[in-house]
Amino acid sequence: MKDMVIGVNKGKIIFIEDETCLSELMSEYNIPPGNVRHLDKRQFLMPGMVDTHIHAPQYVFAGSNMDLQLRQWLSTYTLPTEAKMKDLDFANDVCDKVVNRTLKNGTTTACYYATMYRNASDVLCKVIGKSIYPSCVDLCAASNKQTQTDKTVYRIHTDFVIFLFQNPLLTPIITPRSIRTCSEELIKSLGQLNQTYRLPVQTHILETRSDIIPGCQNHLDVWDKHGLLTNRTILGHCIYLSDNELDLLKLRGCGIAHCPNSNITLRSGLLDVRHVLNMGCKIGLGTDVAGGYSSSILDALRSACQISKTLAIQTDGGSYKALTYQALFRLATLGGSEVLGLEATTGSFVVGKDFDAILVDPLVADSPFDVFSTDTFSDVLQKFLFLGDDRNMIDVFVSGKRVCGNNKMENPRQPIVQKYRTQADIYHIEHRILRYHFAPLNT
């Protein structure tokens, strides 16, 4: 939308009108001139991005531990790290950092997996509540059948759900981690819980080839049988679903959390998003931190693009239509909100929705990309999507409230570091790098 004004009151979008109506709107809504913000040349607003799948405790090791595939990665790095969340000071530090980082990256809605430790999940909710951050928060990721009986899990669930209903920007979510880590009795008890509360549900489905059960006609059956496939169910990965399974997923209105960075990093597989879209299923992007090493949805968009182009290369005859930047933009915003069942609240600019937004400035002094006089708006948008980062996000708003941003007025920029970097410093750094790289080339 070009040359428009967007009005926000109490966190909600109250009008989107042509710029020529501005003075009329100001008197109609009693808006003082000081409350009107004019965008500078080349600046634009976009909806805040939606992360449909992120593991808060795994942020500790995001960007590292990328050598193993899923099963070994879980037992070697992930579960031991998650167990450290029992230390609530540590949990507080981790939650603070992951929530701040995702907001800084322009994610205004996130669907978290926490851990199976109730107190650590409380910490995550408190940190998010403090940041005024709408999200689905994990109820219980039961990862160990032996140590938690269904009864205690059920008890934890109910009081946690009630606790979370107190904040309108938080939604509890039933989180049976995966079919491998939950007994059928547990799944059944979660289904019963859902009959009472009608909550969103999330799990990992057919993420790797080894998740395929030989002879199994429908991997969604067990979830369906216990009433856990609804229009608020978010299924992570779904790389190896058959068309019949995709049909059921569509019939029940479930959404797919596509986590391309994770799928490549853990070498799980390449989801055919074009096919999923052709089948008419809801789909959005997830970082899957820390299976995915980046907590940025812009990174997820880029990884999704590369997977789509890889599939196009692999398809004979050039008939495969790789995802366009428009389709990728939709996955990162409205697609994600549909997957979370929050499309009436966030994901696009529509009157009545929350003002979850990013003010993008392609011309910031430290911008990671360059703009030329010949660039159209579409050129600049694409440059931002593929080359931009938090330096271009001068304001991030959640429900009308500015939560962070690289705004020059509020964060005076530090002097350019290079000016202070002497030759000696550089030598010193290089020397250290050389020492740490002293390993055989084939490792």
Chain residues in the site for ligand GUN (CB under 6 A): 55, 70, 74, 78, 177-178, 204, 207, 262, 288, 291
Q: Does 138 bind Fe ion (CB under 5 A)?
A: no
Q: Whose Cβ is closer to ligand GUN: residue 114's or residue 311's?
A: 114
CA distance 114 to 107: 17
Q: Does 299 bind Fe ion (CB under 5 A)?
A: no
Residue 219 binds: one of ligand GUN, Fe ion, none (C-beta under 5 to 8 A by kind): none
Residue 361 binds: one of ligand GUN, Fe ion, none (C-beta under 5 to 8 A by kind): none
Residue 123 binds: one of Fe ion, ligand GUN, none (C-beta under 5 to 8 A by kind): none
Residue 78 binds: one of Fe ion, ligand GUN, none (C-beta under 5 to 8 A by kind): ligand GUN
Residue showing the smallest CB distance to ligand GUN in the complex: 291
SS3 31: coil
In this structure, what token pair is assigned to residue 324? 């366009």
SS3 5: strand
Q: Whose Cβ is closer to ligand GUN: residue 135's or residue 287's?
A: 287
Half-sphere exposure of 14 (CA within 13 A, CB side): 12
With CB under 5 A as the contact rule, which of the stretches 217-225, 285-293, 315-323, 398-406 interacts with Fe ion? 285-293
In this structure, what token pair is assigned to residue 275? 């096919």
Cβ(229)–Cβ(256) below 8 Å: no
Closest CA to 211 of 201, 200, 222, 227: 222
In this structure, what token pair is assigned to residue 27? 């008197």
Half-sphere exposure of 210 (CA within 13 A, CB side): 7
Residue 82 binds: one of Fe ion, ligand GUN, none (C-beta under 5 to 8 A by kind): none
One of 82, 138, 288, 338 touching Fe ion (CB under 5 A): 288
Q: Whose Cβ is closer to ligand GUN: residue 74's or residue 385's?
A: 74
With CB under 5 A as the contact rule, which of the stretches 122-130, 281-289, 319-327, 395-403 interacts with Fe ion? 281-289
Q: Whose Cβ is closer to ligand GUN: residue 207's or residue 389's?
A: 207
Residue 178 binds: one of Fe ion, ligand GUN, none (C-beta under 5 to 8 A by kind): ligand GUN
Q: Quote the DSSP letter at residue 416.
A: P
Q: At what angle do helices 150-164 and 184-197 cross, to 10 degrees?
A: 30
CA distance 294 to 337: 20
